Amino acid sequence: MSFPLLTATAALPAVGAIATAAVPAARRVAAKWLALGFSLATLVLAAIVVVRFDPGGARYQLTESRAWIKDFGVRYELGVDGIAVALIGLTALLIPFVIAAGWHDADPLEDANPNRRWRPTQGFFALILLVEAMVLISFEATDVFVFYIFFEAMLIPMYFLIGGFGDRAHEHGEEEAARQRSYAAVKFLLYNLAGGLIMLAAVIGLYAVTANQLGTGTFSLQEILQARAAGKLNMSSTAERALFLGFFFAFAVKAPLWPLHTWLPNAMQESTAPVAVLITAVVDKVGTFAMLRFCLQLFPEASKWATPVILVLAVISIIYGALLAVGQRDIKRLVAYASISHFGFIILGIFAMTSQGQSGATLYMVNHGISTAALMLVAGFLITRRGSRLIADYGGVQKVAPVLAGTFLIGGLATLSLPGLAPFVSEFLVLVGTFSRYPALGIIATVGIVLAALYVLVLYQRTMTGPVKAGVAGMPDLKVRELAVVAPLIALLLLLGVYPKPVTDIVNPAVRQTLSDVHKTDPKPPLEASK
């Protein structure tokens, strides 16, 4: 029996979570190093997954399949295609930076403030590792039931990370801050649980359809695809559309897509900066990934049927998110609305149903994760120093902390997709892929680029330039640990900005296969008139 590499990759951070939580309360520093060590070990296993994956090989590789609940057709099935491999690499890469950036976020608060809560360091880092484990297995699962379990289970540690370890830089008192953290956590949980319950009904419906037509119900993605290809499974249009909507609703909440997005600004605002990165750069990617793996592959005809409406919603997300980002007074809420706009681009690329669009969307997931991590983590370092999230409380930072201001600028320029930085390539591919089939929507979506330049440059101008404000004077520049967090992310933004080929080579074969599932080909350019 071959080594279960995918299981080990997802199980290692889960083991790390248990080990970190078991560290004695007085050994906080040891718990931090243990969590960081497990995250780095997971990164090594993820790198092995990337290296062992053959883009020219079978669609799903490194597969594992074992009987689990035989009476209900549930199998423990894992496998990765190029899209999953790229996102596994992204997740494993970001978690060590999240842990290092949050090194002091769960330390006990000063004794001078006895009314403020002590936050268990071990629990904070254990929950981060637990989220990583659940996200990784969500990317690996090829059994719909297994995917659903972890898709929902990751809500629990995220709920506690948002509600129990909120941002300490709050403009209100501790009591009001705790209330707002609780509100954000509950809103996050309720929105995602509602989406999950609707998906559960669709999962049960999928089982019923397969049991009726195949004689034995199954949740296996590969079995369902094979049965479709052989003509043994033919869903009625009504059934397929209903099931598609159940799956898509849950993924649109997670993504988040307008108008199901309202939980994200609250969650990111009240979270620590590392947890905010975990939400938007890691957890939310499960929603857009699942659209590619499950919506398009399981329900190809329904996906084409729903495409016009989804494209309109995606464009609304792009413009709406960017417009609201322009008017924000809170740094974290600005990044949250910017992310809503970026997820609109990702979903636009997925449902443009072109190879450029879907390749760009997948690359966008990777690049958005890196750029958002860079910007949000630097913003977190800034907020920690000043003790405020309000843009108006800053000014002149570049004069007292030039390295901090410089890294903040690079993260911001990546967010607005400046040519030469990684997100530009992915955004360009999405727009080209969309324009080739839906030129009007492609043109409207470009407005989001203009608005992105506006909110990013205005944010930098208001916080980093001008006279030094009283609360900023004496602000220390980035320390060695903080530079160690930010510098590799910036290097990746530059590398993938000029050479995205390592990622596109992995994802492009999977994109072509997904397009084949929905019976779509790229639009052909019109032939020139013969001379």
Helix (H) or strand (E) holding 68: strand 61-69
Residue type, 526: P
Using one digit for the tens of pLDDT, what is the confidence trace for 462-513?
A: 999 888 888 888 889 899 999 999 999 999 999 999 999 999 999 999 999 8
In angstroms, the CA 234 to CA 230 distance is 10
Residue with tokens 């983590």: 377
Lowest mean pLDDT among 38-47, 215-224, 272-281, 376-385: 215-224
- Quickly state the pLDDT bin for 182 (edges 50, 70, 90): confident
Categorise residue 57: left if φ over 0, alpha if ψ from -120 to 50, beta otherwise.
beta
Which pLDDT does position 517 carry in this prediction?
A: 83
Which pLDDT does position 75 carry in this prediction?
A: 87
- Quickly state the pLDDT bin for 139 (edges 50, 70, 90): very high
Mean pLDDT, residues 103-112 taken together: 67
Q: Which residue has the higher pLDDT, 415 or 529?
A: 415
| Confidence check: pLDDT of 523 > 90 | no
325 touches 451 (CB < 8 A): yes
| Confidence check: pLDDT of 110 > 70 | no
Number of H helices, E strands in the chain: 23, 2
For the chain, the farthest-separated pair of C-alpha atoms sits apart, in whole angstroms, at 86
- Quickly state the pLDDT bin for 171 (edges 50, 70, 90): low
Which pLDDT does position 115 carry in this prediction?
A: 40
pTM of the entire structure?
0.91
- Quickly state the pLDDT bin for 119 (edges 50, 70, 90): low
Mean pLDDT, residues 320-328 taken together: 92
Question: Encoding tokens for residue 326?
Answer: 């322009």
Q: Which residue has the higher pLDDT, 231 or 308?
A: 308
In angstroms, the CA 473 to CA 469 distance is 6
Helix (H) or strand (E) holding 67: strand 61-69
- The mean of the pLDDT values for the chain is 89
Q: What angle do CA 512, 279, 256 make, to 5 degrees?
A: 60
Please provide the DSSP assignment of 141-171 as one string.
Answer: B-BHHHHHHHHHHTHHHHHHHHHHSB-S--S
| Confidence check: pLDDT of 118 > 60 | no
Please provide the DSSP assignment of 233-247 as one string.
Answer: ----HHHHHHHHHHH
Helix (H, G, I), strand (E, B) or coil at 56: coil
Which pLDDT does position 531 carry in this prediction?
A: 37
Going by C-alpha positions, the residue among 526, 411, 529, 395 that lies closest to residue 472 is: 395
Cβ neighbours of residue 519 under 8 Å, at least 6 residues apart?
300
Using one digit for the tens of pLDDT, what is the confidence trace for 331-358?
A: 999 999 999 999 999 999 999 999 899 9
Which pLDDT does position 41 carry in this prediction?
A: 97
Using one digit for the tens of pLDDT, what is the confidence trace for 274-304?
A: 999 999 999 999 999 999 999 999 999 999 9
Which pLDDT does position 170 carry in this prediction?
A: 60
Handedness of CA 393, 484, 29, 31 (dihedral sign): positive
In angstroms, the CA 240 to CA 247 distance is 11
Which pLDDT does position 304 carry in this prediction?
A: 92
Cβ neighbours of residue 178 under 8 Å, at least 6 residues apart?
117, 166
Query: Using only C-alpha atoms, what is the Rg of the chain?
Result: 23
| Confidence check: pLDDT of 42 > 60 | yes
Which pLDDT does position 113 carry in this prediction?
A: 44
| Confidence check: pLDDT of 270 > 90 | no
Which pLDDT does position 114 carry in this prediction?
A: 41
109 touches 169 (CB < 8 A): no
| Confidence check: pLDDT of 108 > 60 | yes
Q: Where are the domains of the chain?
A: 299-521
Which pLDDT does position 212 carry in this prediction?
A: 86
Which pLDDT does position 334 carry in this prediction?
A: 93
Cβ neighbours of residue 406 under 8 Å, at least 6 residues apart?
398
| Confidence check: pLDDT of 322 > 80 | yes
3-state SS, one letter per residue, for 305-367: HHHHHHHHHHHHHHHHHHHHHHCCCEHHHHHHHHHHHHHHHHHHHHHCCCHHHHHHHHHHHHH
Percent of the chain with pLDDT over 70: 95
